[in-house]
Amino acid sequence: MVKSRIPNPRRPLLLGAAALLGTSALLVACGAPGSPTAAGDAAHRSASPSASGGTTGASGGSTTGAARPTPGADESSAAATATPTATSTPTSTRTPSASPAGTPTGAPASPFASATTSPTAPSAPAASAPAASPSTHAPATGVLRHTASGGRTVALTFDDGPGPATGQVLDLLAQYGAKATFCEIGTNAQARPAAVQRILAEGHRLCDHTVDHPQPMHAQTHEQQVAEIGDAKAMIEKAAGGDPAVTWWRAPGGDFTAENERIGADLGMKSLGWTVDPRDWARPGVQAIVSNVQQNLRPGGVVLMHDGGGDRTQTVAALKQLLPWLVAQGYTFDFPQS
CA angle 124, 130, 136 (to 5 degrees): 155
What does each C-alpha distance from 287 to 92, 155, 295, 324, 334 come to in angstroms? 81, 21, 12, 15, 24
Count of CB atoms within 10 A of residue 163's CB? 22
Contact between 164 and 138 (Cβ < 8 Å): no
179: burial class by Cβ within 10 Å (0-12, 13-18, 19+)? middle
Count of CB atoms within 10 A of residue 84's CB? 14
What does each C-alpha distance from 216 to 134, 257, 259, 309 come to in angstroms? 11, 11, 14, 17
Catalytic-role residue among 146, 159, 204, 208: 159
Catalytic-role residue among 146, 280, 306, 334: 306
Count of CB atoms within 10 A of residue 8's CB? 7
Active site (annotated) includes residue 222: no
List all residues 6 or more positions away from 115 whose beta carbon is below 8 Å from its beta carbon.
52, 121
CA separation for the pair 107, 62 (Å, rounded): 11
Active site (annotated) includes residue 306: yes
Give the residue numbers marked as catalytic. Answer: 159, 306
